[in-house]
Amino acid sequence: MLELLLVLIILVLAYSLASPLISNLGSGDLRSSARTVAVALKRARNVAISARHETPLTFNLDDRTITLAGEPKPFQLPPKLDLQLYTVQQELTSDKIAAIRFYPDGSSTGGRVTVGQGDRKFEIDVDWLTGRVHIKQPAS
């Protein structure tokens, strides 16, 4: 009887230690998706500066795709992530399609892209004056 009780205690301890690890397995997808969005934004800014023309980066919130003008293949985000975009009114094509535009001087229309899953979320900010992209880490 004592051995059975000891085995049950060990199983409960193992489960309590492993459950936070199992629940955080999806956080890698969340972090990599935030980095994918930031890379796409930085790439659009670099294209605008080097090619010396306005370059929009278009977000399709339904398909979870990000399309850079002139690129054949869009960036694809995992379907289970929540994606939100805040941008200027002129860049809204519909309720689910909008863009952030970068200009040859490095500036942009500015905005914020939020990539989330449950309570965790990353906010990727685009400064309108400088066009710089910054990822805000979620609180741990």
Q: pLDDT tens for residues 64-83?
A: 999 998 898 999 999 989 99
φ, ψ of residue 43 to 5 degrees: the values are -65, -40
Structural domains of the chain in order of their starting residue, each with its CATH number: 27-136 (3.55.40.10)
> Model confidence over 19-34: pLDDT tens digits?
554 444 455 789 999 9
Rounded Cα–Cα distance for residues 103 and 55 (Å): 7
Rounded Cα–Cα distance for residues 41 and 99 (Å): 10
> Model confidence over 35-44: pLDDT tens digits?
999 999 999 9
